[in-house]
Amino acid sequence: MPFVANFTATQPVGEPSVITLTDTSTGSDGAITQRRVYLREADGSFLVPSRTTTDYIEWDYADSTIDIDVLDKDYALQVVVEWLNVGNAVLYDKTSLELFSSYDEDFDYNTTQQLTGNPLLFNDNRFFLEKSNLRTFLDSAERAILRASDQYGAQECLDGATALRLGSRYFFNINA
């Protein structure tokens, strides 16, 4: 059965800095010996863990999943996975635009928990407005990827959400 390259990208619950890649390829090719992962940002640069000297991350072919602890904020990333042979020739590759928004989604839920403890916060014009803006940024980032494959637009929206999260003491009167 011919090899068909595929993978999924997720974020584990409670670990917003981590990307989990799972190899969901079908078929087989005995020539494959290794994988490489490229995480390309909207500005074209590559995101790699600290102390990684290459633009890519090695993914041991014996492991069906890999956890990459690399995110310091929310990102819209072009994820490229390559399947290579022993001579480092790329035999197969798969590219996918992915949204990693756990930092700001977790923060959004945190504001909901704040409301649970003090429902009157919703009457605070600033709280309601900024929570609404936060949700709009997150929904828009998702739409930018799903509807337009617009990585740059999605990243701008995520950066807007990140600004609200990092400035939460001013925008929401709470600390992130």
Partner 1 sequence: MTVAEKILIAELSQYISLNAINKSGLWGGGEDLSLPRKIYLVRKGVERTYNQDPTDTTLFGTSNLMMALCGAYQFIAQARQNSGGAVVPISVGSGPSPLDFIVSASSYAVTGATSISIPQFIGYEIIFARGGTVQYTTPQPGGSAYYSWSSATGILRLLPDPGGALTEGEAIHIQPIGVTSSSATPSIYPFTITSADFEADGVSYNNAQIINDNICLFINNYSSNVLYSPTDFVFTATGIEIIDDGFNANTFDYTILIQKLN
Question: For binding to partner 1 (CB under 8 A), which residues are involved?
Answer: 13, 105, 108-109, 111-113, 115-117, 119, 122, 128, 131-132, 135, 139
What distance in Å separates the CA atoms of residue 35 and residue 88, rounded to the nearest whole number?
A: 9
Closest by CA position to 103, among listed 79, 75, 127, 126: 75
Is-contact 39 59, C-beta < 8 A? Answer: no
Q: Which is nearer to partner 1, 44 or 117 (CB)?
A: 117
Q: Which is nearer to partner 1, 80 or 141 (CB)?
A: 141
> Least distance (Å) from partner 1 to the CB of residue 112?
4
Q: Which is nearer to partner 1, 15 or 41 (CB)?
A: 15
> Least distance (Å) from partner 1 to the CB of residue 133?
10
> Least distance (Å) from partner 1 to the CB of residue 104?
11
CB contact set of 116 (below 8 Å; sequence gap of 6+) = none
98: part of which helix (H) or strand (E)? strand 90-100
32 token code pair: 């494959």
Q: Which is nearer to partner 1, 11 or 151 (CB)?
A: 11
> Least distance (Å) from partner 1 to the CB of residue 91?
35
> Least distance (Å) from partner 1 to the CB of residue 59?
25
What distance in Å separates the CA atoms of residue 48 and residue 51, rounded to the nearest whole number?
A: 8
What distance in Å separates the CA atoms of residue 111 and residue 128, rounded to the nearest whole number?
A: 10
Closest by CA position to 176, among listed 143, 134, 116: 134
Q: Which is nearer to partner 1, 9 or 42 (CB)?
A: 9
